[in-house]
Amino acid sequence: MRSKKHPPKIGISACMWEGDPNRKIFNGRPILYLEESMSIYLQRLGALVYMLPPAVNGNVEAMCRDLDGLVLQGGVDVCPQTYGEETLQPEWNGDARRDAYEIALIQAFFAQKKPILGICRGLQIMNVCFGGSLFQDISYFKPNAFVHRDAKIYEKNTHMIDFLIDTELSKIFPSLKQAKINSVHHQAIKDLAPGFVVSARSSVDGIIEAVERQPQAEGEAFCLGVQWHPEFQDVEDDSLLSSTKILDWFMQQIKMTSL
Ligand code: MN
């Protein structure tokens, strides 16, 4: 048992940038990277943050053992083949290598009973890891849906969500039935993974915006996924749902399971 005094240690999945011969720096070699706003967000309440590389020796479990929780950062599309579908458009093919890498991380942290927070793509890959599927492109499947990703305004694109009652997310925000969040995604959950519940939907078109897997056995930890990006929010901007309360909740889950 480690000391209760040590700051929580959060592992975060890496984004992957494949080798590009036209890129001068690093001579076009593959890069692993972390978006800085995410590292700043996760350190806001005192956690230590560690970006996790793919385990080259296959021993993912050992890499996760000294960490207290996992955050899955956003990024590239999930590859449709990862959830058993053919890719309908080449530009929706995503990154199957990153999928396999993050699924291994999710399985290791889940087996070690440590909480997991999925942001945007992180919600999607968590849903796929536990047996769910995705819309490869929201507008392709729901022609009248809101535009959930607008490249011109990026995180300034916002919409309302409705909270579902009796969920953990609704307990984090007990006084709210609705809230405004940012929206930078063109994929979304189609079939929800077994064992998960929907905790928020888009008020405009019903798209799933948050999911959770409540502990189902002794000592299990929570998995929470949000389709929006709390790390992109200005802390001073109180027009959006509080990003700090979500992080505070995650830190509390870590304290309940790991410290
Ligand atoms: Mn959205």
CA of 45 to the centre of ligand 1 (A): 26
Over residues 79-108, the mean pLDDT reads 97
32-59 pLDDT, tens digit per residue, is 999 999 999 999 999 999 999 999 887 8
The answer, yes or no, to whether residue 5 has pLDDT greater than 80, is: no
Predicted local distance difference test score (pLDDT) of residue 1:
47
Is 231 an active-site residue? yes
Q: How far is the CA of 180 from the centre of ligand 1 (A)?
A: 10
Q: 220 near 194, Cβ under 8 Å? A: no
Q: Among this protein's residues, is 18 annotated catalytic? A: no
pLDDT of amino acid 218: 87
Instruction: Tell me the average pLDDT across 131-160.
Output: 94
In which band, very low, low, confident or very high, does the pLDDT at 4 lie, cut at 50, 70 and 90?
A: low
Q: pTM of this prediction?
A: 0.95
Band the pLDDT of 146: cuts 50, 70, 90.
very high
With a cut of 50, say whether residue 62 has pLDDT above it: yes
Q: How far is the CA of 134 from the centre of ligand 1 (A)?
A: 14
Does the annotation mark 229 as catalytic? yes
The catalytic position among 15, 120, 129, 223 is 120
Is the pLDDT reported for residue 157 higher than 50?
yes
